[in-house]
Amino acid sequence: MMKAYLSRRYRLSASHRLHTEQFSPEQNRAVYGKCNHPHGHGHNYTVEVMVSGPVDPVTGMVCNLSDLDGFMQQRIVNRFDHTNLNLDPSFATLVPTTENLCIEIYKVINAELARVKLEKVRVEETSNNFFEYAG
C-alpha cells in the first residue's frame, strides 16, 4: 500500500521562563542566560505537524484538512496559545524549553490522532531556532 505525507502549520504565541529548582539562581542564569529573566519572555511559535497514511481512493486525501485543523485548534492551539507555559501541568516538573514543548505536542497528537500516522512535530521558536521530535 502506498502512503503519502501531509504537513500543516499552526501558529501560537506563548511565554515561558527557563528555570529549574535543581539549580541555584547563579546556575540558572549561567545555563539559561536572558531566558531566565524572572518575568519570562514570549515567542510566536510555528508548529508543523507531519502525518502519513494511504491516500483514500474516494476522497484522494491522506486526511481531511478540516478535521486536522479542528483537532489542532482544540487540543494544541487552544491549550498553549497566549499562555505562560510554566503554568501548564505538563511543565510542573519540566523546564518549558521548546524541545519539551515539541515533545508534549507530539504526545498529545500521537495519543489521539486516528487513521493517520504522526511522523513528526516541528516547532519553530525563532527564525534561527527550531526543534523536531519524531517519537
Report the pLDDT value the prediction gives residue 119, as an integer from 0 to 100: 98
Told to judge if 82 belongs to the known catalytic residues of this protein, a careful annotator would answer yes
98, part of any domain: yes
Report the pLDDT value the prediction gives residue 115, as an integer from 0 to 100: 86
Told to judge if 99 belongs to the known catalytic residues of this protein, a careful annotator would answer no
58, part of any domain: yes
Domains: count for the chain: 1
Told to judge if 125 belongs to the known catalytic residues of this protein, a careful annotator would answer yes
The one catalytic residue among 35, 48, 119, 132: 35
Reduced to 3 states (helix: H, G, I; strand: E, B; else coil), residue 94 is: coil
18, part of any domain: no
Report the pLDDT value the prediction gives residue 53, as an integer from 0 to 100: 96
Where in the sequence is the domain holding 80, given as residue range(s)?
A: 4-13+43-133
Supply the pTM of this predicted model: 0.95
Report the pLDDT value the prediction gives residue 113, as an integer from 0 to 100: 87
62, part of any domain: yes
- Domain harbouring 98, CATH code: 3.30.479.10
The one catalytic residue among 16, 43, 124, 125: 125
Give the Cα separation of 134 and 121 in Å (integer).
6
User: Do 29 and 46 form a contact (C-beta atoms < 8 A)?
Assistant: no
Query: Residue 6, Cβ neighbours under 10 Å: how many?
Result: 17
29, part of any domain: no
One digit per residue, pLDDT tens: the chain, 135 residues? 789 999 999 999 999 999 999 999 999 999 999 999 999 999 999 999 999 999 999 999 999 999 999 999 999 999 999 999 999 999 999 999 999 999 999 999 999 988 899 999 999 999 999 999 999
Give the Cα separation of 28 and 37 in Å (integer).
10
87, part of any domain: yes
The one catalytic residue among 37, 41, 82, 112: 82
27, part of any domain: no
